[in-house]
Amino acid sequence: MSKIIEVNGMIIKSKVVAEYDRLITILTLEKGKIYVFVNGARKQGSSFMGISREFLYGKFKIYENRNSYNLQSAVIVNYFEEITKDMESTCYGAYFLELTDYYTREYVIDVPTLKLLYCALLAILKPSLENKLVRRIFELRMMSENGDYENLGNEKMNESTRFAINYVLTTPVEKLFTFSLKREINDEFSEVVDKLLRDRVTKQINSLEILNIVCT
């Protein structure tokens, strides 16, 4: 009998395979990014139907079958339902998931990235925070956590912008999404991060194209 393993994490991708099944990508605390088959997830009345979509964070019991993992059961801690009920939040959330998928590797444990993603999703649900700023904070910290940040010491910019960049790079992730910027500083901060991202991310991020259409 296959050994049952319990992992904690978030579903960052879910796609249809075969007629009734799904293949989910879970970013976990214990094993990094893993791929898990959910047999019968699309069958009417299946208990897996509601626990195999993106954004779900919880405890997943999985077992190894030949060369793949299969889902046995799950206890969801946070469904992030509010995100999926709002078009703008869904677009931002989908982009955060896809960028996370881009930067993470299978079986490479990456707790800081998982924590960053979780906190960013919580942040887009806060009415007091501007989603565009949340996005840039998320992008900059994601690049930094994964070795894609280029030191901007010689770049000309407002000192307040430089302070904001340093804050994002050095502040514990739990306190990251707690500030706002004046419009001119926000614009410059956004331009700097956008340039860095375009220089570093070489793959086409489909959800970003949708985000730019819907939320501009």
Over residues 40-67, the pLDDT tens digits come to 999 988 889 889 999 999 999 999 887 7
Give the range of the structural domain holding residue 14, as residue numbers without chain letter: 4-78
pTM over 0.85: yes
73 neighbors 61 (Cβ within 8 angstroms):
yes
Same domain, 130 and 157: yes
Question: What's the residue count for the chain?
Answer: 216
Same domain, 167 and 210: yes
Same domain, 93 and 197: yes
Q: What is the total count of domains within the chain?
A: 2
Residue 47, pLDDT score: 87
CATH number at residue 74: 2.40.50.140
User: Which stretches of the chain score pLDDT less than 70?
Assistant: 1, 153
Same domain, 110 and 147: yes
CATH number at residue 98: 1.20.1440
